[in-house]
A and B are shown apart, each in its own frame.
Chain A
Amino acid sequence: MFGYPLVNVLGACLIITSMMVVLARAGRTAAWLYSLQSLVLVGVLASLGFVTGSGELFTWSATAFATKVVLVPAILLYALKKIGDDAQADLPPKLNPMKSVALVAVEVFVCFVAVSGIDLPTAAEVKPTLAVSLAHFFIGLTCIVTQRSIFKQIFGYCLMENGSHVSLALLAPEAPELVEIGVATDAIFAVIILAVLVVRMARYAHTLDADDLCELKG
């Protein structure tokens, strides 16, 4: 159960939690679920550290815990509090959320087919997780495309971010801490900027519906 199978099981948990983020109706729930997903991500990094014996991965998991489990959801919840009730942050998505589960399944499968063609010595044991990390890119894209609320679209970006984080850890477990700092700060600053934009837009237009925000053009 320990070793690479554990990494793969945690990878599957990543898919399940990210699906819950996509399905969550309220923005607040989505933020908490995102925090849970990042916790699973930390688990993936730590277990990879155990398996590969790379000390860097433990520092990665520590920084990922600080930034992604605590800081990013906190920023998002704070933004949600700032937006308040005058703009509906909890708009329903365009696609029936129940159908998006089937869509996620298709995406994971396609990514697995794509990954099975890759032949890398570092990723031979963790191909399922590599497929999962690649699929996160598409799940994030699905979230951005199908959600009408621009607040929930931020979660799409965060999911893509988590996916790239996992694939980096899988393919380059020995990468120095500097790379990790780049990834982590990238996530934090992007989320801060997006949150500020969403709050400003909500104050100006009193709506978070991407379709209604066309008036902001030019």
Chain B
Amino acid sequence: MTVIIAVLQAVLLVALAPLVSGIARKIRARMHSRTGASVLQDYYDLAKLWHRCEVREGPSGLVSRAMPAVYLGTMALLAAGLPLIMQACPVPLLGDIITILYLMALPRFLFSLASIDSGAAYPSIGGIRELLVGVLVEPSLMLVLFVMALAVGSTNVGVMAEAVGALSAYPAVAVVVAGVACAMACYIEMGKLPFDLAEAEQEIQEGPLAAYSGPSLAMLKLGVSVKQLVVASLFVAIFLPFGAAASLAPADLLLGLVTYLVKLAAVLLVAAVIENSVMRVRYKLLGRYTWFVVGIASLSLVFLVIGI
């Protein structure tokens, strides 16, 4: 039964991702006083790309060919493992923070490798940028998850969600501060505006995207949108587990699904508003912002050690 829920979660997130990025784009257009494209535009784009033929750069090899599928597959796997509708993990094996962190690192690694593999200059610069963001953000995310693991005594995300949901995670202030740090780290991981993904500059911004075409590009675009949902869901799953189903009863599950969608929509709406009210930061200055996140995360660790 839980395996079915896991598969459904993955399908749900993959199916929703283009809609969510379409809505985010619509919000941006409205905030810029434009009409903007339809919210379904991303589905049209993906369908169009899917029918196009694939063109590759001359020197690119196996890594470039495998990367889009691995990227999308890893994101779907992450989506399957998180406790989104239920409080417990549907597949406990996939809900371990160490697995989650490595599963998040794998696509990033391949993404950068593919950018070098493509043999062109612009994608490799973009790949390095992607790695830099990862190096700056992932330590804070690890620290936050480590704090949560110490606070609840388990590395399983489902156990964390249960403890937070029952308000029994012990050093309360440490958990709240960790939640703030996690929200910031997840926002940066989502690749939103002050840090990433300005639509006009794909060569530099999204690295290897420039070297792809056809179905591969479709898979990558979908993968990037799913990643946003997965990262937002990670935050929702751990720190806002309220309302998630405690049992496998159908009514509970339905309620859990509805509350999950509402929470996710709220988080994404906040992210979209922040995204559209800031400028892009030069990536030399990225460190300033990530230092803040590291500071908050280490503060939560200190609160945990002190015990408040």
Contact = CB atoms under 8 A, between A and B. Distances in A.
Contacts, number: 58
A189 interface: no
- The secondary structure that dominates the B interface is helix
A105 B289 contact: no
Contact of A98 (B295, B298, B302, B307): B295
A98 B305 contact: no
Interface string A79-98: 00000000000000000101
Size band of the interface chain A makes with B: 20 to 34
Contact of A128 (B172, B291, B295, B306): B306
Contact of B306 (A102, A106, A112): A112
A62 interface: no
Interface centre among A16, A96, A98, A103 (most CB of B within 10 A): A98
B299 A101 contact: yes
B305 A109 contact: yes
A9 interface: yes
Interface string A119-130: 000000000110
Contacts of B301: 105
B292 A101 contact: yes
A98 B308 contact: no
A146 interface: no
A96 B298 CA distance: 17
Contact of B295 (A8, A11, A105): A105
B215 to A, nearest CB: 42
A105 B302 contact: yes
A104 interface: yes
B167 to A, nearest CB: 10
Interface residues of B, number: 19
B295 A102 contact: yes
A129 B306 CA distance: 9
B305 A12 contact: no
A108 interface: yes
Given A9-B172, A11-B308, A108-B306, A98 B299 contact: no
A98 B172 contact: no
Nearest to A1: B172
Contacts of B291: 96, 98-99, 101-102
6 contacts: A11-B308, A12-B303, A15-B299, A101-B291, A109-B305, A109-B306
Interface of A: 8-9, 11-13, 15-16, 19, 96, 98-106, 108-109, 112, 128-129, 131
Given A9-B308, A128-B306, 17 more contacts: A12-B173, A12-B308, A13-B173, A98-B291, A98-B292, A101-B295, A102-B294, A102-B295, A103-B295, A105-B295, A105-B298, A105-B301, A106-B302, A108-B299, A108-B302, A112-B305, A112-B306
